[in-house]
Chains A and B, each alone.
Chain A
Amino acid sequence: MQFFERLMMMDRRWVFLFLAAVCFFTYYVEYDVPIYVEPETERIYTFIDSLPEGDIILLAIDYDPNSMAELHPMTYTIVEHAWRKNLRLIITALSQNGPGMADQAIRDISDSLAMPATYNGVEYPAREIVNGEDYVFLGYKPYYALVILGMGQDFRLPFPNDYYGTPLDSLPMMRRVVNYDHVACVISLSSGTISDGWISYGQGRFGFPLFFGLTGVMTAQYYPFYGSGQLSGLMGGMLGAAQYEFLADNYGLARDAMKVQLPAHVIIILFIIMGNVGYFASRRRERLGGVS
């Protein structure tokens, strides 16, 4: 029975080692992970997919480079989906370290649209993404609560110019686009308290459809808002991003990462089971009073 006791008291470094080894090897193995789509994520996809051409989405990239791993795939998949559908984007980055990262992502994604693609059986031709016509990047302003409130009056209030210094009024896309009344929805990808600001100051006051993309850890906290209808949809962590990619038929960063995340979860589950087996076996041994 000492084996079971050793199992229960196993040095955590073995756990780290197994986990690291599994993550390392599965990264290089090619296989596709089937994805089960949750209703919360499907609502976001369905809403965007059903928008008519030319509609505008406000995308708030409210996360730091710390949370890039989980939230960047969401940015990539949503933006590409929107642009393939000829929707237009107003992009903000209300997190302090976010604008540079968001700017780089926008450029990457616009480059990827220079090639044709087929998603869900629909062929999308190559297209050029033009700043000012297909998207406007507003950048960062401090005091996110004031920015969210200000955009409800007029985007020009907190952002008279875009991130590159161009006055909003001179951008073709912003003609007759004043505030949240002229966007179809707001999608906030966030890893912190900015999400609370969007609920209180944004959706609560102006009543637009609000969707969240959050880190896995935060997701459980926002189910009450989804349940009450304040949130129209919710994407949680890497799995949420992978679900969206699955719906969009766009194999991207998240589905690639699921190859690693799935075995990692299996390893954790196995270790939990092992630990419990060791626990029950050692308890049984104590009750029996036996010595091996």
Chain B
Amino acid sequence: MKYLLSAVIVLGLLAGAVWAQESDQPSTAAADTAVSADTVSVAPPAPVGNLRAYDSDNDHGHAVTLEWELSPDDGGGDNSVLMYEVFRWYPYFWDTVQEVRAELVTARQRRVQGTLDVEGDPDDYVKELVSRHTELLSTLPEAHEQYPDDGEFRLVRAVPAGTEKFEDRGPKDRLAEDFLPDYCDFYYRVDAVTIDESVRTPSQIVGPVQSYGQWFNTGRIVVLCFVLVFGLLTILFVQRARSGAELYVRPIAGIEAVDDAIGRATEMGRPILYVLGLGTAADVATIASFTILSRVAKQVAEYQTQLIVPTYDPIVMSVAQEVVKSAYLDAGRPDDYSQDIVYFVTQSQFAYVAAVNGVMLRERPATNVYMGMFHAESLLLAETGAIAGSIQISGTDQMAQLPFFIVACDYTLIGEELYAASAYLGREPVLLGSLKAQDVAKAAVVLFALIGVIVTTAGSSVFQNLFKVTD
């Protein structure tokens, strides 16, 4: 009854919240796609102003950014500007480079198809083209230095009216048609164009500007600071733990239940099923799962219970085999280890879960342990395990699957509890120390969030901008 009363109170709060709630929706600006073209003027528009060109920052090169002030006739004045056309100066030598490039690309394709018809060895022919192309590319900077002779302005891109910024970016692949070479002098011009394309006004020419790659992405400096601080914290707490400081970790029911579950399986004479999830060996959840598997396998070896580990990924299978084998060695039972304990099933999601369900219903394991990365199959596994009458312990960092595990399993490790399991199981000072560093970092995040809320509510975005990270 007392729970019912609590539930009624909560319902009342909910009703109050709904009643008080206004339907405020976050506002987002709709894209402005309208192009103003209601005034057709034959008079040439005013040019763009203050055209600037500079190397794009924080990239691998091959990009130049242009900025300008809108033409007075864009959205105002005669309102005749329909678009801007960006022109770049190309040396005529560029056409020669492009011809060789096209020939090389075609030759390579035909070489692969076996239809390259040349005198002599086709491979030698392709190699010769490659070296000629490389040589031509190396002389491009000299060709660009000939400006304004031996070249002309050509259209790069048209951008709609209202645009004040444009990035002339090319791929770093030297065989791409729109490759933009680094360390070459570029000259740009931006034309304001009306609805009649012949009626246009060019801007002043800017240049020379060169593109080049940066060695440090300054937009990610916040991330670097965080990584360094967090790394230092980890080392600090690990040192503290090594020097004997007592570090408290709250009990995690799911991990404590693993020992009991293994004991249950031994008493019942039924196997234990361990599922590593659908992640790869590079996923952090799978790495955390390996640690738990090691612990489970060691105990299973000691109790001489059967262990079944069907895997989704072949690399995970290889690593898991090593983990289990070492665990058996540690337990002093190397002869009990068999390579068939850990086996590969398939890399198809639902085919994998069908196979594991089949194992559950046939082998009737006493305990199912699901630790790792799971997707839609999580409930299929957990419910089938419940049908088979197994105790189920799960842990995943996939938020969408947590509700299913919580509902269908006896114990669930939520999110980072899975990562903490390795520290919790081993109780090694080194691992506990890193767990503490995590807790301190979390406390810092909460503090920053509170400060951010206060400062942003007060109308300032200074604090928010401190944490801006650009790509």
Question: Is any CB of A less than 8 Å from a CB of B in the complex?
Answer: yes
Q: Is A39 at the interface (CB under 8 A from chain B)?
A: yes
Cα A266 to Cα B123 with chains together (Å): 70
Classify the secondary structure of A's interface with B: helix
Cα A5 to Cα B291 with chains together (Å): 41
Q: Write out the residue numbers on chain A whose beta carbons fall within 8 Å of the beta carbon of B163.
A: 181
Give A108 Cβ to nearest chain B Cβ, in Å. 25
Is there an interface contact between A47 and B26, defined as CB atoms closer than 8 Å?
Answer: no
Give A157 Cβ to nearest chain B Cβ, in Å. 7
Residue of B nearest to A150 (CB): B171
Cα A228 to Cα B28 with chains together (Å): 10
Give A65 Cβ to nearest chain B Cβ, in Å. 11
Question: Which residue from A153, A184, A226 sits with its C-beta under 8 Å from B169?
Answer: A153
Is there an interface contact between A217 and B27, defined as CB atoms closer than 8 Å?
Answer: no
Is there an interface contact between A185 and B31, defined as CB atoms closer than 8 Å?
Answer: yes
Is there an interface contact between B400 and A217, defined as CB atoms closer than 8 Å?
Answer: yes
Q: Write out the residue numbers on chain A whose beta carbons fall within 8 Å of the beta carbon of B25.
A: 39, 43
Question: Which residue from B27, B157, B387 sits with its C-beta under 8 Å from A229?
Answer: B27
Q: Is A51 at the interface (CB under 8 A from chain B)?
A: yes
Residue of B nearest to A280 (CB): B4
Residue of B nearest to A203 (CB): B28
Is there an interface contact between B400 and A229, defined as CB atoms closer than 8 Å?
Answer: no
Q: Is B376 at the interface (CB under 8 A from chain A)?
A: yes
Give B229 Cβ to nearest chain A Cβ, in Å. 23
Q: Write out the residue numbers on chain A whose beta carbons fall within 8 Å of the beta carbon of B83.
A: 176
Q: Write out the residue numbers on chain B whose beta carbons fall within 8 Å of the beta carbon of A229.
A: 26-28
Is there an interface contact between A221 and B399, defined as CB atoms closer than 8 Å?
Answer: yes
Cα A198 to Cα B205 with chains together (Å): 37
Q: Write out the residue numbers on chain A whose beta carbons fall within 8 Å of the beta carbon of B452.
A: none
Cα A178 to Cα B158 with chains together (Å): 9
Q: Is A165 at the interface (CB under 8 A from chain B)?
A: no
Within 8 A of A (CB), among B24-40: 25-31, 33-34
Is there an interface contact between B28 and A39, defined as CB atoms closer than 8 Å?
Answer: no
A209 and B399 in contact, given A157-B171, A182-B160, A229-B26 (Cβ under 8 angstroms): no
Cα A265 to Cα B31 with chains together (Å): 38
Is there an interface contact between B157 and A51, defined as CB atoms closer than 8 Å?
Answer: no
Q: Is B450 at the interface (CB under 8 A from chain A)?
A: no
Cα A244 to Cα B280 with chains together (Å): 37
Q: Is B113 at the interface (CB under 8 A from chain A)?
A: no
Question: Which residue from B171, B375, B400 sits with its C-beta under 8 Å from A221?
Answer: B400
Is there an interface contact between A184 and B157, defined as CB atoms closer than 8 Å?
Answer: no
Q: Which of A185, A205, A232 has the most CB of B within 10 A?
A: A232
Cα A122 to Cα B33 with chains together (Å): 24
Q: Is A66 at the interface (CB under 8 A from chain B)?
A: yes
Q: Is A218 at the interface (CB under 8 A from chain B)?
A: yes
Is there an interface contact between A12 and B387, defined as CB atoms closer than 8 Å?
Answer: yes
Q: Is A220 at the interface (CB under 8 A from chain B)?
A: yes
Within 8 A of A (CB), among B7-46: 23, 25-31, 33-34
Chain A: interface residue total (CB-CB under 8 A):
33
Contact flags (1/0) for B104-116 with A, using CB distance below 8 Å? 0000000000000
Residue of B nearest to A230 (CB): B28
Q: Is A227 at the interface (CB under 8 A from chain B)?
A: yes
Cα A218 to Cα B403 with chains together (Å): 11
Q: Write out the residue numbers on chain A whose beta carbons fall within 8 Å of the beta carbon of B453.
A: none
Is there an interface contact between A227 and B26, defined as CB atoms closer than 8 Å?
Answer: yes
Q: Is A208 at the interface (CB under 8 A from chain B)?
A: yes
Give A235 Cβ to nearest chain B Cβ, in Å. 15
Is there an interface contact between A181 and B159, defined as CB atoms closer than 8 Å?
Answer: yes
Cα A288 to Cα B36 with chains together (Å): 80
Q: Write out the residue numbers on chain B whose beta carbons fall within 8 Å of the beta carbon of A125.
A: none
A-B contact count (CB 8 A): 54
A47 and B23 in contact, given A12-B387, A176-B158, A217-B400 (Cβ under 8 angstroms): no
Cα A50 to Cα B31 with chains together (Å): 11
Q: Is A100 at the interface (CB under 8 A from chain B)?
A: no
Q: Which of B23, B28, B158 has the most CB of A within 10 A?
A: B28
Q: Write out the residue numbers on chain A whose beta carbons fall within 8 Å of the beta carbon of B167.
A: 153
Cα A51 to Cα B31 with chains together (Å): 10
Q: Is A52 at the interface (CB under 8 A from chain B)?
A: yes
Q: Is A55 at the interface (CB under 8 A from chain B)?
A: yes
Question: Which residue from A47, A55, A178, A232 sits with its C-beta under 8 Å from B157?
Answer: A178
Is there an interface contact between B31 and A184, defined as CB atoms closer than 8 Å?
Answer: yes
Is there an interface contact between A66 and B350, defined as CB atoms closer than 8 Å?
Answer: yes
Cα A205 to Cα B348 with chains together (Å): 33
Question: Which residue from B26, B29, B34, B400 sits with its C-beta under 8 Å from A220?
Answer: B400
Contact flags (1/0) for B144-160 with A, using CB distance below 8 Å? 00000000000001111
Within 8 A of A (CB), among B348-381: 349-350, 375-376
Cα A209 to Cα B159 with chains together (Å): 19
Give B379 Cβ to nearest chain A Cβ, in Å. 9
Residue of B nearest to A12 (CB): B387
Q: Write out the residue numbers on chain B whose beta carbons fall within 8 Å of the beta carbon of A55.
A: 33
Q: Write out the residue numbers on chain B whose beta carbons fall within 8 Å of the beta carbon of A218.
A: 400
Is there an interface contact between B31 and A208, defined as CB atoms closer than 8 Å?
Answer: yes
Q: Write out the residue numbers on chain B whose beta carbons fall within 8 Å of the beta carbon of A153.
A: 167, 169
Give B307 Cβ to nearest chain A Cβ, in Å. 28
Contact flags (1/0) for B177-190 with A, using CB distance below 8 Å? 00000000000000
Residue of B nearest to A204 (CB): B471
Residue of B nearest to A153 (CB): B169
Within 8 A of B (CB), among A132-181: 153, 157, 176, 178, 181
Q: Write out the residue numbers on chain A whose beta carbons fall within 8 Å of the beta carbon of B375.
A: 192
Q: Write out the residue numbers on chain B whose beta carbons fall within 8 Å of the beta carbon of A182.
A: 160
Give B64 Cβ to nearest chain A Cβ, in Å. 13
Is there an interface contact between B28 and A232, defined as CB atoms closer than 8 Å?
Answer: yes
Question: Which residue from A12, A192, A204, A209 sits with its C-beta under 8 Å from B31?
Answer: A209
Within 8 A of B (CB), among A11-53: 12, 39, 43, 47, 50-52
Cα A50 to Cα B32 with chains together (Å): 12
Is there an interface contact between A181 and B160, defined as CB atoms closer than 8 Å?
Answer: yes
Give B406 Cβ to nearest chain A Cβ, in Å. 13
A51 and B33 in contact, given A66-B350, A178-B157, A221-B400 (Cβ under 8 angstroms): yes
Q: Write out the residue numbers on chain A whose beta carbons fall within 8 Å of the beta carbon of B349.
A: 66
Shortest 10 CB-CB distances between A and B: which pairs?
Answer: A232-B28, A229-B26, A184-B33, A209-B31, A229-B28, A184-B31, A221-B400, A221-B399, A217-B400, A55-B33
Known: A66-B349, A181-B163, A229-B28. 17 other contacts (CB 8 A): A12-B387, A39-B23, A43-B25, A52-B34, A153-B169, A178-B157, A178-B158, A178-B159, A181-B160, A183-B33, A184-B31, A185-B31, A204-B471, A209-B31, A229-B26, A229-B27, A232-B28
- State the B residues within 8 Å of A (CB): 23, 25-31, 33-34, 83, 157-160, 163, 167, 169, 171, 349-350, 375-376, 387, 399-400, 471
14 contacts between A and B (CB under 8 A): A43-B25, A50-B30, A66-B350, A153-B167, A157-B171, A181-B159, A184-B31, A201-B471, A204-B471, A209-B29, A220-B400, A221-B399, A226-B26, A232-B28
